[in-house]
Structure 1
């Protein structure tokens, strides 16, 4: 089929259960595959990795020349990105030392056990609604200091923000963008008001740490505090929901790998890395070159929307042996599941810990479980890909 329609076909909801044949077509079509809308796709591992580290590539959508409001620091470039990322990371503790994430191990274990208690009675459960969603949401809300009774507020806001963040050829959906903007405003307002209640009264949570920063030169403005708090909450759970759910789905489809992990639980950390390669929670990232660049002999003009298909790079046979096979014993798992370069996911340690804890606790219960529906219903978003529901009979 016409390679110029690849993004449209990848974005088509019918492709959500299995986009990998389209990713293979993308890699086969060439290092750079131009689309009908003027943007281009790149699906080879080595080219994606190089561009994620290329300082000429911008994450800021304003690089295209569009008049838009300042994006969250996830979509900013250095030095502004570095400043805001550093400030957001400070409450987690010094780099390379035990910090808040390590201190949450016991709490994550307790939350996991609480969520699994209803599973003991058997019957049908939804892995997403009953486990994979509430676990990371509860963890990030407790890290931020959100009252437990307010946690349900974030489901609707998160869904609207994720829908607005999708990369699709028809991205001019005004209603979707407006809903996303409104959700960002409401969530940001809620979190800033919560933080302000703790100004001068530190309470040990992340919001309290951000609003009580002792160095005046490092304090966030109200707008920056809102954007940073929203990003921490969304990034702190959305991708982890997909990672856990995709992991359960993969293991239920491959009982022999389940058996292996039950026999050798020490392989679980390696299995999580393999899941991040095999079924990553994030499948695409957009970058825009500041200046003309050359990729494998193809000139990409400045301002072009370049979509790096991480999900295709993770299964590139030029990088990984037998890439379409899920292998928990694989030692070469230098995946793109958390991106790479300056925008590498700073929530990676928390996501890994949650996935490791969740899958380890679920493994004994999956031995006699079966999928009620395969493929399950997926979320609309092609970029943040994962099942919307995963009904399982225990």
Structure 2
């Protein structure tokens, strides 16, 4: 049956520019669709939301024997996940209160202005390489307290990690690229642990200082946890923000009427970013693993099987959103799945929102007279973290 090949067709690189017809096919095929490899796909908004909140659904790949080492807390279950997530979030300040992210506003503005300086009329730029990629890497460097002179080193490690994440299975040098990615992760983790240790007892106003100078030893991260968490901040915080900014610019350049409206009323920026998170989310799918047999809409998800939650399909579910394939920044009811939901709701969401609003706001004067050089642009290989690899724009 065609429905059994949906995951293979969605992840096929040929579908990267527009996977949404396949997501519609997924929703029509049923709440839960078994795939030829034994996994299950879920594409309805309400079913995805329920499973994201179900404590019987795990994120830990060790359950299936996929890895033996302890993964970062993004792939852990409670209570381990809760402990590490809480410790990591403490330096950001209490929820719903001004904290370290709000304090970064001025710095993000300055980084954005610096990146925009070379954007002269008549020039062709690559929005990814020239802007959307360096912005979040630089922000995370400043947040962690990486010295300015070491930022190029940090970006080099990030380049290798992104290349490994975007690897195609048939690539000739797949083993070498994965090995380089593993080595970059080790070197980056070691660098950050050493940098944190230098701040022990003499803290600065940065996350590494806060991690290593936690006054309560019971709440302090171990060196291994600190390394994994800091690397996670780079990868998860960086890749999603690049996609959010780039997908946002692509969407607005394809819809000049919305771009013009936004230029006339920049107050719409926050709602525009929320609609982008629904309409063109940076994360398309997430895997969950049942800890026990779970029945969803008459289908049994067996313990230990792979369950792929297609967040991007849920974001365009007509049973949840009116006219879901229409981009509408004034949409009144927009409880999207762009940052997930449940206990694994993206804890970097406030920073990603701030970066995207700042970036798009600063780009508005430039985009008003800009045009796409290539549409669709070349996309990244990664189907779960979907976004253009390059976005050439003529200013």
TM superposition score normalised by structure 1: 0.95
Structure-1 separation of matches of 2:248 and 2:216: 42
Q: How does 1:44-193 map to 2 (within 5 A)?
A: 44-162=44-162, 177-193=178-194
Task: Note if contact 1:283-1:309 (Cα within 8 Å) is conserved in structure 2.
Answer: yes
Alignment-derived partner of residue 390 in structure 1: 391
In structure 2, distance between residues paired with 1:132 and 1:166: 17
In 1, Cα distance between the equivalents of 2:161 and 2:206?
Answer: 24
Q: Which runs of 5+ in 2 are unaligned?
A: none
CA apart distance, 1:236? 2.2
- CA gap of 1:183–1:279, structure 2 versus 1, over 3 A, is same
Matches within 5 A, 1:1-394: 2-162=2-162, 177-394=178-395
Query: SS state of the match for residue 197, structure 1?
Result: helix
Work out the CA distance in 2 between the residues paired with 1:245 and 1:188.
28
Q: Contact 2:263/2:364 (CA < 8 Å) preserved in 1?
A: yes
How far apart are the structure 2 equivalents of 1:52 and 1:163? 29
Q: Which runs of 5+ in 1 are unaligned?
A: none
Q: 1:164 to 1:294 in 2, by over 3 A?
A: farther
| In structure 2, distance between residues paired with 1:67 and 1:262 | 48
Change in CA separation of 1:164 and 1:118 when aligned onto 2, cut-off 3 Å: closer
In structure 2, distance between residues paired with 1:151 and 1:88: 22
Q: How does the TM-score come out when normalised to structure 2?
A: 0.95
Partner deviation per Cα, 1:51-78 (whole Å, 9 max, x = no partner): 0000000010112244521100000000
Distance (whole Å) between structure 1 residues aligned to residue 210 and residue 270 of structure 2: 31
Alpha-carbon separation, structure 2, partners of 1:92 and 1:51: 28
Q: Deviations over 1:205-261 (max 9, x none)?
A: 101110111111111111111101111122222111100000000000000110111
Q: How many residues align?
A: 393
Specify the SS of the correspondent of 1:316: coil
Distance in 2 of aligned mates of 1:128 and 1:198: 33
- How far the C-alpha of 1:267 sits from its partner, in A, is 1.1
Q: Which moved more, 1:64-73 or 1:257-266?
A: 64-73
Q: CA RMSD in A?
A: 1.9
Report if the CA contact (8 A) 1:240-1:355 is conserved: yes
Distance 2:332 2:76 in 1: 33
